[in-house]
Structure 1
Amino acid sequence: MAEVPERSVFDADVTLSVVVPFFNEAEVLPEFHRRLTAVLDGLKRRSEIIYIDDGSTDDSRSLVSSFPASKSDVFCIQLSRNFGKEAAMSAGLEHTRGQAVILLDADLQDPPELIPAMMAEWEKGFDVVNMQRRHRNGESWFKRSSARLFYRLLNILAQSEIPENVGDFRLLDRKVIHHINQLPERNRYMKGIFAWPGFEQTTVSFERDARFCGSSKWNYLKLLGLAVDGITSFSIKPLRLATLMGILIAFSAFCYGLMVVLKTLIIGDPVSGYPSMMVVQLGLGGIQLLSIGLLGEYIGRIFIETKARPLYLTQSIMEKKAVVISNNIQPVVRKAA
């Protein structure tokens, strides 16, 4: 088993941590690292880049290991297998040392050049800087429309408001990271978890770029599963809606049955309509199966939580120290929001 060195959870000298989860992104990682380090080198703040290898099967990890030294500390945390993006982000957050943390995908759809603007908002005193996608370049009309519909549905059902059209790209203050890392849950929908703590928030709009190269790892089935995770992780309203639907259907069936009896007794009309009865039975059966499936989703999450397995397993941690930094590092001065 590979030896995993321990790391400090917090270092007051590190101003910014950038968490970059990736899975089979060998084509884009060199250009991503070049653009990211160019931005961080110009910040005059001590920073670190934490790459999370979520079980890549290509040359992604070896590429990260071969990156030249920059003015930022670079770490690559290799997970023992592919645990999924939510677990990879959680691993990155638990290993950050900075006073501010930015989550950034490696596909270059979220431009690293926006980091200075995010830091400027943080220095004003905001604890969370949400990056809202004003336009999603490179995505189909169906994907944009379904995403818009999902966010609206989620905010109707969820107990805490989740910013619409805001992905994982955002800045979080150290105290927000501390509370997120304390959450014990295994079923994680990170967009909801990022919004749950609250604190002082602001939103910055930007144009989201198309992928630099390659294709998305998220097909529509995976996105549908993520949507179900989001709804069931942050709301029990679907269960209440199922209960309400059952009450309404039972009341409607009682009224219909009473109408049939009265119609037969008063008018003498014989009861008929075999096809309509089959439609009603099939409809009720479908609603029952839907309700059972919905109940099963919640029970399944309880089952996973009770096993209390770790979110991820770490195989190794690679560390590359920053080059010698000059004395022009500026102190961090934050205002009250």
Structure 2
Amino acid sequence: MNDIEVSVVIPCLNEEENVPGIYEEVRAELVKHARSWEILFIDNGSSDRTRELVRKICDADSNVRAIFNTRNFGQMRSPTHAIYQAEGAAVIGMCADFQDPPALLGEFIRQWREGRMIVLGVRRSEEAAGAVLTAARKAGYGFLARNADYAVIPGATGFGLYDRRVVETLARWHEPEPFFRGMLVESGYSIGLVPYDRPERRGGQTKNDVFALLDFAVSGLAGSSKALLRRPIVWSLGFMALGFALAICGAAAAFAGWAAWPWVILASQFGLFGFGFLFTGLLGEQVRIIAERTRRVPLVIEQERLNFPPSRTRPVRQPFVVAEDD
């Protein structure tokens, strides 16, 4: 039986100003609320002193573990990989910059013990992000709400707690670009929500500019909306129906002795559009099927692990690759 009750996963990228503080505050919350625990840092190719500071923490506290990636694998793959490597009966994912408040950990654990499979923090507002990023997030949430295969939760960034069964289920999907917050909803497990006001970042610079959010949104939409791949097929039916109607109008015009060629040109144009969208939709469906059959890409390549017990050097849930020594 697993002897770790709660794992907290903290992804990092150039967070030297925040790593010591986030460790202290998360540790203090876990000591108060968890029977046993671990903290897992995963560094995504930092160029500052983040890894040095994480090493010192690992040396001083055997409950803290670390994974160092060979490079930056992006803000979707690296955190998800660490979640799959955590051993807790419950796994909490959060950022290192204090915009995910450690003070909520106790409430997450309480709701989980009461039976919730997933407990997510939901931001009441995005004012701290600035007007441009706030507008971009609202537009992204709106587009996902209209086009995703399942409902998204506005304000939920993935900060929250996930039961071990949820983690094991999602790991078996082998998503190469895991939109984790969407996967949580797609799983259908019960979700508890904890509203909170987003605090200011305490130190360092945010990695989420408009372009990073756009990249994240596109990856998330591609991973959570198979319906968009089928949309051209629906459009093709509409174009072909309109072309057929125009052809009838052309025939009626010719029968009445009027010029029929404008109707014929329009009918042929819409007919060609219809066939074009039909084949585009079928191609998209083939791409979707291929993607469903080839989900075996490692999320990251690890350079080093710290403080992992020998039994966890080669986890069996989500495959990963260890870089060869130079």
Structure 1 residue 134: Cα displacement:
0.9
Q: Give the equivalent residue in structure 2 for 1:335.
A: none
In 2, are the aligned partners of 1:136 and 1:210 still within 8 Å (CA)? no
Which residue, 75, 86, 102 being the options, matches 2:76? 86
User: Alignment partner of 2:99: what SS?
Assistant: coil
Q: Structure 1 residues 102 and 24 mapped into 2: Cα distance closer, same or farther (>3 Å)?
A: same
Native 8 Å contact 2:78 2:300 kept in 1 = yes
Q: Deviation of residue 195 (structure 1)?
A: 2.1
User: How far off its partner does 1:78 sit?
Assistant: 0.8
Match of 1:329 in 2: none
Partner of residue 28, structure 1: 18
Gap change, CA 1:222 and 1:71, over 3 Å in 2 = closer
- How many residues align? The count is 306
Q: Is the contact made by 2:229 and 2:288 (CA closer than 8 Å) also made in structure 1? A: no
Match runs of 1:184-333 below 5 Å: 184-260=174-250, 262-263=252-253, 266=256, 268=258, 292=280, 295=283, 299=287, 302=290, 306=294, 308-319=296-307
Q: Select between 196-205 and 215-224 the one with higher mean Cα deviation.
A: 215-224
Cα distance, 1:196 vs. partner?
Answer: 2.6
Report if aligned partners of 1:41, 1:70 keep a CA contact under 8 Å in 2: no
TM-score normalized by the length of structure 2: 0.79
- Counterpart selection for 1:132 from 122, 130, 138: 122
CA offset at residue 220 of structure 1?
2.7
What are the Cα deviations for residues 255-287 of structure 1, in whole angstroms up to 9, with x where unaligned? 2344345446536358679xxx89x979x87x9
- The alpha-carbon distance between structure 1 residues 63 and 129, as it changes in their structure 2 partners (threshold 3 A), is same
Higher RCO structure (Cα 8 Å, ≥6 apart): 1
**Whole-Å separation in 2 of the counterparts to 1:50 and 1:264:** 76
C-alpha distance in structure 2 between counterparts of 1:60 and 1:297, whole Å:
43
Give CA-to-partner distance per residue, 1:164-212, whole Å, 9 cap, x none.
3211201011221222222223232111222232333211111112322
Q: How does 1:35-46 map to 2 (within 5 A)?
A: 35-43=25-33, 45-46=35-36
CA distance in 1, matches of 2:202, 2:279: 42
Determine helix, strand or coil for the equivalent of 2:197. strand
**Percent identity for Structure 1 against Structure 2:** 27
Structure 2: gaps of 5 or more residues = 310-326
Do the aligned partners of 2:58 and 2:307 also contact (CA within 8 Å) in 1?
no
How far is 1:105 from its partner? Answer: 0.7
Q: In structure 2, do the counterparts of structure 1 residues 101 and 205 end up closer, same or farther at CA, with 3 Å as the change threshold? A: same
Return 120-129 or 156-165, whichever deviates more: 156-165
Shift of 1:233: 2.0
Residue-by-residue CA offset, 1:11-65 (whole Å, 9 max, x unaligned)? 6322210001111222322332232223223335321110001122222111111
The two structures have a TM-score, normalised by structure 1, of: 0.77
2:46 to 53, 56, 66: 56
CA RMSD of aligned residues (A): 3.5
Letter in 2 for 1:208: R
Q: Residue in 1 aligned with 2:323?
A: none
What amino acid is the match of 1:150?
G
Contact 2:133–2:209 (CA under 8 A) maintained in structure 1: no
Distance (Å, rounded) in 2 between the aligned partners of 1:169 and 1:123: 18
Which secondary structure does the structure 1 equivalent of 2:243 belong to?
helix
CA distance 1:293–1:29, shift in 2 (3 Å): farther
- CA separation of 1:304 and 1:120: change in aligned 2, threshold 3 A: closer
**1:168–1:36 CA distance, 2 compared to 1 (3 A):** same
Higher helix share: 2
